[in-house]
Amino acid sequence: MIYLVREELIIQDGYIFVSNDESRYLLKVRRLKNGAEVTFCCNGKTYLTELEIKKQIPCFKIVKEGTVTISSNRLIVAIAAGDINAVEESIRNGVEAGVDEFYIFRSELSNTDTTLVEKRMKRLKTIIVTAASQSRRGHLPEINTSTFEEISELEGDHIVFHPYVPDNFMSYSPEKMKDIVLWVGPEGGFTDKEIEVFKSKKFKIFSLKVPILRMENAVTVFSAFIRNLI
């Protein structure tokens, strides 16, 4: 069965209709035939449908509606701008690991400016749609560019991983109904100055007994650990 997560849906008279581009994709690439089952998900609601092709136009008849349970703890990941390919992989991996929202910011060791990320925003949003559908998410995660200072003011538990601190992440116990903001540094990590800023803001700084990870792998591992807890 095909599972598609979308930001919005066109629903009329018990049918879901898709754009011409998506029609071509589903019929020509995915080779869907009459009677094929497709589940659409939008804003936490699911729609099990059966495909009816009328005059070469795909119409998806709604057979059953449902809801997707969404955690009361939102997981937000702040990713330092680095190599754009690594940023793309971080977004893809983060969506599949359960991240609800991304912020891309420039850190002291970033080798990419957020303006380049903004230019690639259309592609990043396409990656989010594809990854959310593949992992059967209940909604599409958001993505924004921002500054270190603005992200640090977000409400919630701010968590930073650093390989050389004594507090292990396994001692962390998240509070219900509270957002978690995970900070992931660039290649080379956060500077001592940035770590001092984190400490001054009373952010939780943990280590995890894993080798030093590349940015895109750190997003996957740390997000999955946190999502498993909440």
pLDDT reading at 175 higher than 90: no
Task: Say whether both 140 and 219 belong to one domain.
Answer: yes
The mean per-residue pLDDT over the stretch 15-30 comes to 89
Distance from C-alpha of 4 to C-alpha of 26, rounded to nearest angstrom: 11
Residue 92 sits in the same domain as residue 203:
yes
Q: Among 67, 83, 113, where does a domain finish?
A: 67
Q: Residues 127-144: what's their mean pLDDT?
A: 92
Q: What is the CATH number of the domain that holds 177?
A: 3.40.1280.10
CATH number, position 46: 2.40.240.20
| pLDDT tens by residue, 28-39 | 888 899 999 999
Asked if 158 and 109 sit in the same domain, the reply is yes
pLDDT band at 44 (very low <50, low <70, confident <90, very high): confident
Domain count, the chain: 2
**Does residue 213 share a domain with residue 117?**
yes
Sign of the alpha-carbon torsion through 143, 144, 145, 150: negative
**Average of per-residue pLDDT values in the chain:** 91
5: which 2 tokens?
């997560």
Please give the Cα distance from 211 to 220 (Å, whole number): 14
Out of 37, 67, 97, pick the residue that ends a domain: 67
Do 124 and 50 lie in one domain? The reply is no
State whether 158 and 201 are in the same domain: yes
Structural domain containing residue 137: 75-229
Does 190 lie in the same domain as 150?
yes
Over residues 116-129, mean pLDDT: 94
User: At 181, phi and psi to the nearest 5?
Assistant: -110, 110
* Overall average pLDDT of the 135-161 stretch: 93
pLDDT-based confidence at residue 49 (cuts at 50, 70, 90): very high
Which pLDDT score is estimated for 166? Answer: 87
Same domain, 99 and 60: no
For residue 99, name the pLDDT band (cuts at 50, 70, 90): very high
